[in-house]
Amino acid sequence: MRHASKNMCSGRKGMGIIGVCALLAIGFTTPASSKVLAKVNGVEITDEDLRLAMEDLGPGLPRQLEGKARETYLLDFLVDEQLVVQKAQADKLAETPDFAKKLAYMRDKALMETLLGKIAKEATTDVAIKQTYDEAAKNQKSETEIHAHHILVPTEDEAKAALKRVKGGEDFSKVATELSKDPGSKGGDLGWFTKDRMVPEFGEAAFKLEPGQISDPVKTQFGWHIIKIDEKRAKQFPPLEQVRDQVARYVAQKAQTEVINKLRDSAKIERSDAPPADASKGGDAAKSAKPEEKKK
């Protein structure tokens, strides 16, 4: 934490994970090992301040800001922030009731996020991650997926002409490269997919074929397709190394939600509104999100 004169309280923009004023208010001081990166009218900005800013604001920064450029951007922000903070302090805004309310809110938020972070860290052990992964792999339903190529053209006549070429011996990928209007499949390659990931007409036609077979023209909302099946197999469950971060997030969110629900069950909560029954558990502090994959 930076050095500050008496009553100096430097608030973070947005206060995301950390409430600097709140932490100063409960007695945090600058670690002796902190490196001073800048001074603004005598107030030090340290590498610890930069770390906190990176934690708070980093995820929202443009991706092109990497490495040193990202650090420079955040240090510039901290300098500007300190200038504004000092002006606000000079105007005695830190002594207003409105500021006191905001400070109390940000302190509560920081404490909540600190506890949830502790719960997440304790929950995401290697054993818990492996157990959750193994359970998901065991419960995966048996499903077939195929590897296919296609050619997409606007009209049925164009589809028939493309079909004539590939059935005449021309390389399917070569014809797809020349004719297909699908920019997302290089050489017509769609990779591996299950039936439900495609529009119904395409999925029905593709999964009736066996490896090596080529379909007649198939019409969908995107145009006319010629489909070639390369391989079929039982759907592969991704290896743990590939989905470890996703599994860890699920484990952490599950642990956080369980703690919040226990706290709710043991608390006396009085509200002036009447929330729906399904909104009374878990709150917004620890929501889990399951990404869904879609492909046309």
Q: Domain segments of the chain: what residues?
A: 20-114, 126-137+249-279, 144-234
162-214 pLDDT tens trace? 999 999 999 999 999 999 999 889 999 999 999 999 999 999 999 999 999 99
Q: Per the structure block, which two tokens stand in for 72?
A: 């420079």
For residue 47, what pLDDT is reported?
Answer: 94
Mind listing the pLDDT tens digit for each residue in 127-171? 999 999 999 998 888 889 999 999 999 999 999 999 999 999 999
Strands (E) across 29-183 are located at: 36-40, 43-46, 144-153
User: Is the Cβ–Cβ distance between 198 and 208 less than 8 Å?
Assistant: no
For residue 29, is pLDDT > 70?
no
State residue 75's pLDDT score: 96
Task: Give me the chain's average pLDDT, please.
Answer: 85
Fold of 144-234: Chitinase A; domain 3 (3.10.50)
- Rg of the chain over all Cα atoms, to the nearest angstrom: 29
pLDDT tier for residue 24 given thresholds of 50, 70 and 90: very low
The confidence score (pLDDT) of residue 295 equals 41
Beta-strand runs (E) in 103-143: none
Q: Cβ–Cβ contacts within 10 Å for residue 195, how many? A: 15
Q: Is the pLDDT of residue 2 over 50?
A: no
Residue 279: per-residue pLDDT? 54
Instruction: Find how far residue 73's CA is from the centre of its chain.
Output: 23
pLDDT band at 59 (very low <50, low <70, confident <90, very high): confident
| Residue located via tokens 């770390």 | 51
